[in-house]
Amino acid sequence: MAEKKKNSSTRERIIENAKKHFYCDGYSKTRMQDIADDTGIALGSLSYHFKKKEAIVSSILKIFLERLYDHTLENTDKPLNALELHFYASIPYYENLLTEENTKRFYYEFTQAQSVHSTNYGGSELADFITEVYHQSLKDYHIFVDDAYANMAQKFGYGGRVQMVIDYVEGALGTVNIAEMANFLSSSREMLLGVPKAELDRIGQEAIAFNREVDFSSIMPLT
């Protein structure tokens, strides 16, 4: 039990120190050695908890998204299914990643690295979390597809999300705002798998209205 608590404490300190470096130095310039040094552990010990730098980011973003989910549920009396909750939380997810300059730089650099190096959507804390959300949403709408097709749709959605984030930061999306982009990204995979467009449009409009009323500005990924 003591060893488990120690590992949990070390992991938490790694994440907190990584967040500071990512915020101040960006994703590209932050080294695993920097994070290990600030945590007071050897690089090998850091690798025990996180094999790669992107794994730390995945954990940070999963925690961030979970906090947005919790804040959403705390501010509505309406029962939300898995897809509705994801829509509602996705707008502040992207707004809080892509508005403040240091955070935007970090997320842009991380996303660029994903577009070059990432070949597998799964296998990370964030990816596994979102996969479970999507699986539940298919159950909610009584949609049954084989695993191979669902996996292809998921990879398609992941690749589109990476490119759209890059395009947004670089100004290539024109007048599209973050809420519109978030709704599109939340709906694209579900539409491929058979959720009716009218239902996705309804949820998207409700998500925009909800985010006009509820303040998410205190929930940031790195600070």
Q: Distance (Å, rounded) from C-alpha 30 to C-alpha 7? A: 23
User: Does position 5 have pLDDT exceeding 70, yes or no?
Assistant: no
In the chain the first and final C-alpha atoms are separated, in Å, by 30
pLDDT single digits (tens) 130-166: 889 988 999 999 999 888 888 888 888 888 899 999 9
User: Does position 182 have pLDDT exceeding 90, yes or no?
Assistant: yes
Token pair 């909750």 is found at: 85
Q: Distance (Å, rounded) from C-alpha 171 to C-alpha 168? A: 5
Token pair 């100004």 is found at: 171
Of 151, 141, 147, 149, which is closest to residue 200 (Cα–Cα)?
Answer: 141
Max CA distance (Å), the chain: 54
Q: Distance (Å, rounded) from C-alpha 35 to C-alpha 127? A: 23
User: Does position 7 have pLDDT exceeding 80, yes or no?
Assistant: no
**pLDDT score, position 3:** 55
Q: Distance (Å, rounded) from C-alpha 185 to C-alpha 87? A: 9
Indicate the domain borders of the chain.
Answer: 1-51, 54-213
**pLDDT score, position 114:** 86
**pLDDT score, position 122:** 43
Q: Which of 1-5, 14-18, 173-177, 192-196 shows the lowest mean pLDDT across its residues?
A: 1-5
Give pTM, 2 decimals: 0.92
pLDDT single digits (tens) 17-46: 999 999 999 999 999 999 999 999 999 999
- Rounded to 5 degrees, what are φ and ψ at 177? -95, 175
**pLDDT score, position 121:** 45
10 Å Cβ neighbour count for 67? 18
Q: Distance (Å, rounded) from C-alpha 122 to C-alpha 70? A: 24
Q: What does CATH list as the number for 1-51?
A: 1.10.10.60
**pLDDT score, position 6:** 59
**pLDDT score, position 4:** 52
The token pair at 175 is: 């007048």
pLDDT single digits (tens) 55-111: 999 999 999 999 999 999 999 999 999 999 999 999 999 999 999 999 999 999 999
**pLDDT score, position 157:** 82
Token pair 């794994």 is found at: 55
**pLDDT score, position 8:** 73
The token pair at 135 is: 């699986």
User: Does position 119 have pLDDT exceeding 70, yes or no?
Assistant: no
User: Does position 118 have pLDDT exceeding 90, yes or no?
Assistant: no
